[in-house]
């Protein structure tokens, strides 16, 4: 049986405690629309078509304080870095390597992601802390 490469890569990062969605990443191969494109309003589709370079990958990031709106064109090496960083099992060091603000909620010590509800707010100049007390 011949394996057909996927047109899309859609990934959800969930909180280790409550399973709430923290981040959604979506990659579309050159020439393909994002999987979510079919549910977009007409205005968003027109804007995307103006921005899209169909010869390169398309990346959408949404959540955990970082979003690139409708997405952006990226080169294949960058697309492959994102795919590699979010392969299972996900680890802080892999996710951190792509440079997302907030590291998609991952704690550098626990190696799991927590939603904003579970990151304890900073107090008097101290950093945020995960539920196990590790600084962000």
The 3-state DSSP class for residue 90 equals coil
pLDDT the model gives residue 6 = 52
Q: What integer best gives the mean pLDDT of the chain?
A: 89
pLDDT the model gives residue 2 = 43
For the stretch 43-67, pLDDT in tens is: 999 999 999 999 999 999 998 778 8
pLDDT the model gives residue 7 = 58
- Report cis status (omega within 30 of 0) of the bond before 89: yes
The count of other CB atoms within 10 Å of the CB of residue 57 is: 23
The count of other CB atoms within 10 Å of the CB of residue 135 is: 12
CA-based end-to-end distance of the chain = 46
The count of other CB atoms within 10 Å of the CB of residue 10 is: 14
pLDDT the model gives residue 8 = 65
Helices (H), 28-130: 42-51, 76-85, 92-96
Q: Show the low-confidence residues of the chain (pLDDT under 50).
A: 1-5
Output phi, psi for 45, to 5 deg: -65, -40
pLDDT the model gives residue 118 = 95
């Amino acid at each position: 049986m011949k394996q057909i490469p996927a047109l899309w890569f859609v990934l959800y990062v969930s909180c280790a405690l409550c399973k709430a969605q923290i981040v959604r990443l979506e990659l579309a191969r050159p020439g393909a629309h994002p999987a979510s494109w079919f549910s977009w309003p007409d205005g968003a589709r027109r804007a995307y078509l103006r921005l899209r370079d169909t010869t390169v990958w398309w990346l959408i990031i949404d959540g955990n304080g970082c979003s690139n709106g409708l997405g952006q064109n990226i080169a294949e090496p960058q697309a492959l870095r994102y795919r590699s960083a979010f392969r299972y099992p996900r680890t802080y060091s892999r996710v951190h390597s792509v440079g997302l603000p907030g590291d998609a909620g991952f704690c550098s010590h626990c190696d799991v992601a927590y939603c904003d509800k579970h990151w304890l707010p900073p107090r008097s100049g101290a950093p945020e802390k995960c539920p196990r007390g590790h600084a962000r």
